[in-house]
Amino acid sequence: MTITARLPMPFGWYCIGYSDELAPEEVRIVRYFNREMVLFRTESGDLGLVKPICPHLGAHLGHGGTVVGESIRCPFHHWAYDTEGRVTDVPYATALPPKASKGPCLGTWPVQERSGVIWAWYHPENSPPSFEPEDHPEIGHADWVPTDRYEWEFRGHPQEIAENGVDVAHFKYVHNMDAVPEGETLYDGYVRSSRISGPRRFIGPDGQEQVIESRVEVRQVGAGQKVTRFSGLVDTLLLVLVTPIDEERVHLRFAFTHKHYEEGSFEHRACQESIQSVIGQRGVAGDIPIWEHKEHVRTPMLCDGDGPIMRFRRYFAQFYVNGPYGDQPRQ
């Protein structure tokens, strides 16, 4: 049995911030994927994600760089670059240098916005995106509340965190919960989806036990995006966003939203209690100490109650160039 194996960073779309955290004409340094990048929003609202060093004479665009119209301007000599990395202005030149006239000369990475999230595409060989992040219509909808957000940074890996959902046995021993069945599961390309439904008993506002039909739907989209929808007593959504900082550390974000319920109502309290449960010991707070200190076991010694861990790993293997261990055929 191979005890440990180092997992590389899987490729895919990852959250590098929320849309409302970056105002028009704002410039920000972001550090993910073991590299430093400069993120900016143009005057019209478009996003640019560029390499930090100006190819003219090496100034850092994130330290004093400014947005002018639809370009980011270098603080050193005021060379300006658009979101595609093309030179748009050299204020003291009568003609652009030949290299600058031929096309982009400042390195960029794909970036886009969906459901209030700023997504960046990471690939170890800088290959273009092979799929897209998904929209979630509940986020930003008038019938749903603004997202309630939480975040953590710790030693971990996107695959280990995602695998947690199919590790059904740990719910009892880490979270003091009954084991959660996987339910109906479908693997379709870069998407894994599951659905669990059934009766749920709870004590209603009148103190009497009630039974409702509840449903939990989970959708994993690539390595960095998972959404869980809960319906029954209340309708809620949890967006799970995990982004590699480097080979050892991750930035994990949870964004919750739910339908509008009257403040102080039974349903509103149920939503708040559910959120606290998910971020508390019965949820991610119980998982993080495990993730921080565990190692990846390439060939685990599993038993019949562990859940479909190896099936999930076969699905996740597609997000590595040569598989998770560098010894599989190129994707």
* Chain segment 139-151, per-residue pLDDT in tens: 999 999 999 999 9
Kindly report, residue by residue over 91-101, the tens digit of the pLDDT. Answer: 999 988 888 88
Span 107-127, average pLDDT: 97
The mean-pLDDT minimum among 15-24, 250-259, 320-329 falls in: 320-329
Residue 6: what pLDDT?
83
Quickly tell me which residue has 């100034």 as its tokens: 59
- Going from the C-alpha of 134 to that of each of 33, 152, 224, the distances in angstroms are 21, 23, 11
Higher pLDDT, 210 or 81: 81
Q: State the Cα–Cα distance between residues 168 and 307, nearest whole angstrom.
A: 5
State the fold for domain 148-319: Naphthalene 1,2-dioxygenase Alpha Subunit; Chain A, domain 1 (3.90.380)
- The candidate with the shortest Cα–Cα distance to 48, out of 89, 107, 98, is 107
Residue 101: what pLDDT?
85
Span 245-269, average pLDDT: 95
Element counts in the chain: helices (H) and strands (E) = 6, 17
The residues facing 253 across adjacent strands are 151, 241
Q: State the Cα–Cα distance between residues 327 and 163, nearest whole angstrom.
A: 21
Most confident range (mean pLDDT) of 159-168, 194-203, 215-224 is: 215-224
- The candidate with the shortest Cα–Cα distance to 77, out of 86, 85, 87, is 87
Residue 64: what pLDDT?
98
**What's the CATH architecture for 12-122?**
3-layer Sandwich (2.102)
Span 181-203, average pLDDT: 82
Residues contacting residue 289 through CB under 8 Å, at least 6 positions apart: none
Domain boundaries, the chain: 12-122, 148-319
Report residue 101: phi and psi, to 5°.
-80, -15
Span 182-196, average pLDDT: 90
Span 315-326, average pLDDT: 95
DSSP for 236-283 reads EEEEEEEEESSSSEEEEEEEEEEB---TTSHHHHHHHHHHHHHHSTTT
Strands (E), 115-178: 117-122, 148-155
